[in-house]
Amino acid sequence: MSGLFGDDPPQDELPPPPNDGPGLFGDAPAPALIPEPVHATPYRVLARKYRPTTFDDLIGQESMVRILRNAFAAGRVAHAFMLTGVRGVGKTTTARIIARALNCTGIDGQGGPTADPCGVCSNCVGILADRHPDVVEMDAASRTGVDDVREIIEATRFRPMQARAKVFVIDEVHMLSRNAFNALLKTLEEPPPHVKFVFATTEIRKVPVTVLSRCQSFSLRRVRVAELHTHFARIAVKENVEVEPAALDLIARAADGSVRDGLSILDQAMAQAEGVITTAQVADMLGLADRDAIFDLMEAVMAGKPAAALAITDHAHERGADLGTLLQDLLELLHTVTRLKSIPSLRESQELPEAERTRGAEIADRLTVPALARAWQMLLKGVGEVETAPDRRAAAEMVLIRLCHVSDMPTPGDLVRRLMTQGAGSAPSGPSSGPSGAGPSGGGGVRAVAGGGAMMMAAPDVASAAPRLSSFRDVAALVESQREAMLHAHLLHSVHVVRFAPPVIELRPQAEAPRDLSSRLAALLTETTGTRWTIAISAAQGEPTLAEQGMAADSARRVIAAEHPLVRAIMDAFPGARIDTVHDATTDRYGLPAAVPLGEPDMPDFAPPDAELYDDTSSPWEFDA
C-alpha cells in the first residue's frame, strides 16, 4: 500500500538495509554478493613467448655459440662484445643470455659464471623478467648524446648491488654521436673488473674503428630458410596449429633470415586462419603470388607467350598481389634457376624447397646461361622502372612483354657466329691514314663484339717502330714518363705545334697554358736527351692539339666501323645498339696512327716468307715455274 500522497513504496518493496557492521548480538554480517573480477591473461606474441633463454635455443649461430661456450669454460670472457647482424637474428637476446651466464649462481646459490645458466636463481629470474638492477639496457637510437654515456660511465664506479657483474647492454650502438663514442673509449678500454659491455648494431660500418678494436666482435648471420622452416614447424606444433609445409616455406622466405620477422608473420597467419593454415592464405596475407604461378609465369615468359604471361598477372592482380613484388619473385626464381644451371649438385640440396629442386631444374635444363643472363639484366632494370613508374601494373606488364619478345632472339654472340657462318662479309681493308690519321692501315680482319648495347672493333696488332722523339707525340709521351703530369696535360690539351724540327720546336700555347711551359719543356728535354733543345713561341695557327687530333681520329674510326657489313647486320638485329668504342692496335696512346720516323722514307713491305724467288738476271718477262 502506498503512502498518503502515493510517494512511499510499501514496506515489502523497500530495499534491504546496508550491511555496515556486526549485528546486535555480535554475529557476523552476511557476506556481500560482490562478483569477483575477471583477470584476462594478456596475449604474448610468438616472438616474445619463444625468445631463446639459453645458448642452445639460438638457431643458426653455431660459430658464435661455440666460441662463447669455450670462453666461459676457459674463464676467458672478454670485457666487451660487439654483436652485429640484420634485425631479428638474436643480438639483444644473445646479450641477455651473456648477462645471465655471467651472473648465474646456480640452483644452490654457489655457482659461478657458466655457459648454461640455471634459469631459477634470483639473478637468472630477474634478468629474464627485465628487472635486474645490475643489468642496464639502453637504446642508443633514443639516447645518443654524451650525457647519456656519462651516466653509464658514472654507474661503472659502483659495485653491483646483487649480481656478480654489472652488464651494460647498448642496442643500436651505431646511433651514438661522435662525442659519445669518444667519451666511452677510455672506460671501454680499461673497465673495472666488475663491468661488462655488450653492444648490438645493425650498421657495423658506422661504429668507429677505435671502438671495434676494444671489443670481441660476432657477426650473427641470417638464418637459413630450412632452419627457419624447422623452427616454425616446431612452434606450430606447440601452439596446436597445423600449417602446410609450403606455407611454412613462404613464411621462411618472407622472413629473409630474420627469426623475429618470421614469427611475426606466423603469428599473423595463426590469427587469421580457421583450421589448417594453407599456402594460399599466407600468399594472400603477404600480397604474394602463388609459387606455382611464379613458375608458370617464368615458363610463359621464356617461351615467348605474352598472352599467357598477362593472364597470370591479371589473376594475381585480382587477388591483390603487387606486380612489383611479382617481378621480384620472378627475379629470385631466375637467380635460383641460374644457380641450378651452373651448379647441378644443388638439385640434391635440402636447402632448396621441393618445387625449386624439381620444377626449377626442369626449366634450367631447357634454358641457356646467356638467355638467363639476358633475362636477369632486363628484369633487374624492370624492377627499378616499376618502382618509379606512375602505374606499377602497367610498368610490370611492359617488362614482361619485352621479356617475351626477346625470348627467341639470339644472343649477340650467337648472332655474330651466325652472320660469320652465312658469310656476312669480311672486314674491308682499312684506308691508309689520311690527314687526320683516322682509320687503320693494312688489310687485316675485323673482330666485332656486341653486348649491352655497345660495339667494339679491334684490328690486328701492328708494332710501331718509331725512333725516339720523332714526333711531338713522342715528346709528350716522354714528358708523361718523367711523371710531369701537369706539363703533359698542357702539351695534350693546350699546345698547337707550328713546326717540329728537332732540336727546335715552335709552339702556339693557348691562354690557359702556364707562362713557363716553354722553359720547363726545354729543360726537361735537354736533361733527358743530353741535347740542347729550343722551344720557340709562335703566333702561327699550327696544327690541332693532340687531344683534338685524337677525337677526330676516333670519330673517323667510328664512321669506318659503322660501314662494316657485319656491324651493320648487328645494328639491324639489335635496334638501339650503338658503337661505343673503336680500338685500333695500330694507334698510339693518343689514338693517332704511328708516325713515320723522321728522316726515313716510306719503304715498301718485305715480301712474304713463302714468296717465289725472282732472278733479275733472266728476262724480265720470264719467271721460274
Range of the domain at 229: 225-286
CATH number, domain with residue 340: 1.20.272.10
69 & 204 share domain: yes
Q: Are residues 117 and 146 in the same domain?
A: yes
Q: What is the CATH number of the domain that holds 481?
A: 3.30.300
Same domain, 338 and 480: no
Give me the number of domains the chain comprises.
Answer: 4
Domain containing 92 — which CATH number? 3.40.50.300
In this structure, what DSSP letter does residue 270 have?
A: H
Q: Is residue 309 part of a domain?
A: yes
Residue 98 lies in a domain: yes
Give yes or no: residues 118 and 184 share one domain.
yes
Report the C-alpha gap between 569 and 426 in whole angstroms: 12
For residues 272 and 332, state if they share a domain: no
In a domain, 377, yes or no: yes
Whether residue 555 lies inside any domain: the answer is: no
**Burial tier of 89 (Cβ tally within 10 Å: 0-12, 13-18, 19+):** buried
Exposed/middle/buried for residue 68 (C-beta within 10 Å: 0-12, 13-18, 19+): buried
Q: Which residues of the chain have pLDDT under 50?
A: 1-6, 12, 424-456, 458-467, 598-608, 611-625
Q: Tell which of 267, 286, 305 closes a domain.
A: 286
Per-residue model confidence as pLDDT tens digits over 314-372:
988 887 788 888 899 899 999 999 999 998 888 887 677 777 888 888 898 888 888 89
- Pair 363, 476 in one domain: no
Do 297 and 398 lie in one domain? The reply is: yes
**pLDDT of res. 320:** 78
One domain, residues 191 and 327: no
Distance in angstroms (rounded) separating the CA atoms of residues 611 and 207: 74
Could you tell me if residue 12 is inside a domain? no
Quick one: 214 and 235 in the same domain? no
Give yes or no: residues 93 and 172 share one domain: yes
Query: Does residue 329 share a domain with residue 190?
Result: no
Q: What's the pLDDT score for residue 455?
A: 40
290's enclosing H/E stretch is none
Is there a domain that residue 167 lies in?
Answer: yes
Helix H or strand E encompassing 578: strand 578-583
Q: In whole angstroms, give the CA distance from residue 211 to residue 402.
A: 51
Give per-residue pLDDT as tens, 454-483. Answer: 344 543 343 333 336 888 888 888 888 888
Domain end, chosen from 523, 544, 565, is at 544
Helix spans in 176-244 (H): 178-189, 209-212, 225-238
- Rounded to whole angstroms, the maximal C-alpha distance in the chain is 169
* pLDDT value, residue 77: 92
Answer yes or no: do 64 and 143 share one domain. Answer: yes
Query: CA distances (Å), 524 to each of 467, 490, 498, 534, 616, in order?
Result: 19, 15, 20, 11, 52
9 contact partners, CB below 8 Å, separation of at least 6: 2
